[in-house]
Amino acid sequence: MAGPSANGPAGVGFAFKFIATLIRPFLMAFTRQNWRGGENIPPGGTGVIVAGNHISHFDPLSFAHFLWDNGRATRYLAKSGVFRVPVFGRLITAAGQIPVYRESRDASQAYRAAVAAVKAGELVAIYPEGTISRDPALWPMVGKTGAARVALETGCDVIPVAQWGANHVLAPYSKRIRLLPRKTMSVVAGPPIPLDDLRGRPVDSTVLRIATDRIMAAITAQLAQIRGEVAPAERFDPKAVGLPPVGDPKQRPQEEQPEEQP
């Protein structure tokens, strides 16, 4: 375990340190930290995927805070629109964050960038759900296969991380931030997901689904421990109830589902 460090990981570029210098004191002042499982985060220079649940637009901050305190800088896969925000977009680009071009011809660029980052010994954080959970109780949903695909191509470990508390600061798709009273950010990292039996096999849809289900099961089990509750027997699937792939499900009309083609 790297151990908590206000200075953060070594070898981090100026842009990332600048962002951390601004954000970490803010988080220390307005949130409480309940960090567990830091011993499962590999040391700097080890390429790894860290896969977490997504519960709020605030949780990338607490997620990155946990990893920073445990000796690692985070390379996020973030939606491309964030990179067009004045000043902030330039900062996160300089900090090495990876844009995701959803539903476009450029969508594969994020995958290639994630593979390259892992091979270069970096930590890449991925939300397998692809968006904030639409489960009514914010349990992890059915996962997408990107994290599994990167792990199987590179041979790196996947560390499951569950988090809870950021949703109390900023509810899903809300614009109202509630900093006071201070909320506890609980973030727990588990041991690497067992994937050795899948390595060396053709990376087809069956293998990717098995690996992804293992990742989501581990995240869900850890979240159940944090919350002290029993998780649903089946994970929520937005497609099954006709929700659009991204955005606030309460603000957008349900899309008609095309008839299944033979």
Residue 122 pLDDT grade (very low, low, confident, very high; cuts 50, 70, 90) = very high
pLDDT for 106: 61
Where do the structural domains in the chain lie, given as residue ranges?
14-238
One-letter-per-residue 3-state SS of the chain: CCCCCCCCCCCCCHHHHHHHHHHHHHHHHHEEEEEECHHHCCCCCCCEEEEECCCCCCHHHHHHHHHHHCCCCCEEEEEHHHHHCCCHHHHHHHCCCEEECCCCCCCHHHHHHHHHHHHCCCEEEECCCCCCCCCCCCCCECCCCHHHHHHHHHCCEEEEEEEECHHHHCCCCCCCCCCCCCEEEEEEECCCCCCHHHCCCCCCHHHHHHHHHHHHHHHHHHHHHHHCCCCCCCCECHHHHCCCCCCCCCCCCCCCCCCCCC
Q: What is the CATH number of domain 14-238?
A: 3.40.1130.10
pLDDT of residue 261: 30
Reading the block at residue 96, the tokens are 């090495």
Q: What is the pLDDT of residue 8?
A: 65
The amino acid present at 105, given as its one-letter code, is R
So what's the pLDDT on residue 91?
Answer: 73
Task: Please give the pLDDT value at position 102.
Answer: 63
Asked if residue 4 has pLDDT above 50, the reply is no
Beta bridge partners of 50: 125, 159
pLDDT > 90 fraction of the chain, expressed in percent and rounded: 70
pLDDT digits (tens, 9 = 90+) for 40-80: 999 999 999 999 999 999 999 999 999 999 999 999 887 76
Band of residue 259 on the pLDDT scale cut at 50, 70, 90: very low
Out of 10-14, 100-104, 149-153, 209-213, least confident range: 100-104
As a whole number of angstroms, the distance between CA 236 and CA 238 comes to: 6
Q: How many C-beta neighbours within 10 Å does residue 171 have?
A: 18
Q: Over the stretch 203-234, which tens digit does the pLDDT of each residue have? A: 999 999 999 999 999 999 999 999 999 999 99
Q: How far apart are CA 53 and CA 75, in angstroms?
A: 16
Of 150 and 259, more confident? 150
Q: Is the pLDDT of residue 249 over 90?
A: no
The tokens for 219 are: 């995240």
pLDDT for residue 54: 96
- Average pLDDT of the residues of the chain: 88
Q: Is the pLDDT of residue 12 over 80?
A: no
